[in-house]
Amino acid sequence: PGFRPGPAGDFADVVPLPAELRGGPGARPLQSAWSLPGTPHSLKHFPVDLRTSMDGKYKEIAEELFCRSLAENEMRTAPYEFPEESPIEQLEERRQRLERQISQDVKLEPDILLRAKQDFLKIDSAADLQLLKEQNDSLVDHVPKEREALLEREFQRVTISGEEKCGVSLPLTPLVTRRCLCGRSTWDCPSRASARPRPGTCRSSPRSPWRPVAMRRYAPVHPPFAEQHPYEMWDPQNMPADLGFGLKMVNGVVHVYTKQDITDKSTELDLPYPDLQEFIADMNFLMALIINGPIKSFCYRRLQYLSNKFQMHVLLNEMKELAAQKKVPHRDFYNIRKVDTHIHASSCMNQKHLLRFIKRAMKKHLDEIVHVEKGKEQTLKEVFETMNLTAYDLSVDTLDVHADRNTFHRFDKFNAKYNPIGESILREIFIKTDNRVSGKYFAHIIKEVMADLEESKYQNAELRLSIYGRSRDEWDKLARWAVSHRVHSNNVRWLVQVPRLFDIYRTKKQLANFQEMLENIFLPLYEATIHPAQHPELHLFLEHVDGFDSVDDESKPEHHIFNLDSPLPGNWVEEDNPPYSYYLYYMYANMTVLNHLRRKRGFHTFVLRPHCGEAGPIHHLVSGFMVSENISHGLLLRKAPVLQYLLFLSYHRNPLPEYLSRGLMVSLSTDDPLQFHFTKEPLMEEYSIATQVWKLSSCDMCELARNSVLMSGFSHKVKSYWLGPNYLKEGPEGNDIRRTNVPDIRVSYRFETLCQELTLITQAVQSAELEPIQEEDVLTISLGTH
């Protein structure tokens, strides 16, 4: 250190060199130890004997480091461990213990105290440690508790100043965005079953004062469930009264009359539902909107900005979020509530679980009649004899229910995996509710899965059961199966999925028209609402059903465009399947009327949560955006252009982390544990895989878990225990880190970002009022740009 080359490039101006080395008389070339063999001596070399006063010190340091490296190498290869009373181990334990103690006592840590704390961890003196702790305590005593809470929740923010330039004309932006937001709330509210946080406007300032006293109030975290089984508590003699209303489906939608005589139109109840013409007009408007070039540019730029803003937020506040999580006693990712919001009951078990159950059934119920083939009854033993299989022959590979790479982009192969050993008869026996044994085996295996969820305590699921719409008694059979076998758990709710298979039923002459399918799906629900005593099991079962799902292969081509010229359901007699939006509208319209009726009676209501955006045309997402509470998959949201025939994405191509960074409410789910998972905790396995692939932090995982509870259909009372009594409030006031393990910093960032985006739109609307633009001009611009 300190040597500087002179003008000639040597060190002559710093260290006087002998004449022989300066090139004077008698100079001789010296070969450097760094030169390669065979290098001409005429090349310039550093001098060999340049000594300074620091050389001795350098030598000592080098020798010490060399000795340490040898010692460490010997320690790593030594075949022994440290003794239990190792001084190093005792010192580390003492440091960790004091660090935890100070973390609990010191609630306010300015930069000076934080640096002091970091320095104290390097001090071995117990007196120094105690002195620093006393100094921290004296400072904390003078800090108000409310000020503590405020500083704990404060974080670094990124702001942008200057005029907004979004890449789209100002008069066009507010009208388009305002109509989209208003249209979403108009279509979504009538069928909404429960009130979950939906910040439509910024009713409070994003930087409003905190209220720590209310947030710190103690409240129990485990909801008090009744000890008696809910299917045993009901009394057939004490059912709700019969209203005596009449029912009739008109143009695909059920109408309710106050009298059994439905010919008198004046007795019809006023139960409003969305008008078909209005639905098609709004859908056409959105379709024209999503192909508009300036609007796509505006949305893309805002989404890119939100993604980068989140990355900046993580960069600035990640350590503070982690520190906030560490201060919460007992709570971590493993013991916070999480809900699997997308899991099919027929595949809720893993393949090893199903294999063991089949083997156990073959040992205990070998002579039980389980199937009827061409009028002849067959026992379980006879069924397996026709396949030339014994219990010993069965294995996971033989079962062949696990989805592999060959099922990607092949919905037919994917569905075939539901058949154990490739035999549909085994699917009917073991994972169907309506069969020769009345779904006994299926009920038992689901109850085993429920027992695993109850044992885990913090994992919950919404299992999907199917109603096909082929006959009117499907609902009563499903409810009788659940009640008679007592298939219930406080950790599980039900969703009913309706496969879009009208074309198959029509081809087989099982249905005359599409309205008959709608009648088979919805009229039993209306009858159970009006006449509960006539459908006691169904009335009881519906109290544990969250909503409806629409499922099938979205990539199948649609040969019809849904518009005002489309046939009404009573006139849809062709064998082609109606389009996706056709299914969704008539499901939504009937659910809206049903919810009005059930709400008047004080019964549980339903939501629409379809499979949407998994593949197929973009208008699936448009109709889903209009009428759904939330959707499953949504993969097509990752691109604006239409994506065809993309059934599944690999984990590395899945857009979940991108959606999370942009502020969309997303959660993880298992979909089909039977086909995709190996352990008996598929939801935890899903979180584990996602964490490894996407490098999610603890805060990210806890936020996803909190989102899953908010999106689920569990009751408001249960959510109040799981998330906190104020969970319906917007922003950090609605978060209780003691229950969710999500730092208030993260929730505050989400809320402030949402408010800023809404403020951007609101300010544009106010500015556009000076120059009003006609709605017809918007459609002209949109279509003209396309």
Distance CA 154, CA 744 (A): 9
Distance CA 166, CA 295 (A): 9
| H or E stretch at 383 | helix 380-386
**720: three-class secondary structure by DSSP:** helix
488 is catalytic: no
The answer to whether the beta carbons of residues 339 and 460 sit under 8 Å apart is yes
| H or E stretch at 373 | strand 369-373
In one-letter notation, the amino acid at residue 338 is K
DSSP symbol at 534: G
Interacting residues of 680 by C-beta distance below 8 A, sequence separation 6+: 350, 353, 452
Q: Nearest Cα to 705, choosing from 746, 672, 675?
A: 746
Q: Nearest Cα to 300, choosing from 630, 634, 637, 755?
A: 637
* Candidates 313, 485, 633, 677; catalytic one: 633
In angstroms, how far is CA 651 from the centroid of its own chain? 14
Q: Nearest Cα to 669, choosing from 549, 544, 500, 772?
A: 549
The answer to whether the beta carbons of residues 307 and 729 sit under 8 Å apart is no
Distance CA 602, CA 462 (A): 23
Q: Nearest Cα to 498, choosing from 477, 474, 481, 476?
A: 474
Which is it for strands 253-257 and 338-344: parallel, antiparallel or unpaired? unpaired
Distance CA 165, CA 169 (A): 9
Interacting residues of 763 by C-beta distance below 8 A, sequence separation 6+: 164
Distance CA 567, CA 252 (A): 11
Residue ranges of alpha helices (H) inside 189-237 are 212-215, 230-233
Q: Which residues are catalytic?
A: 633
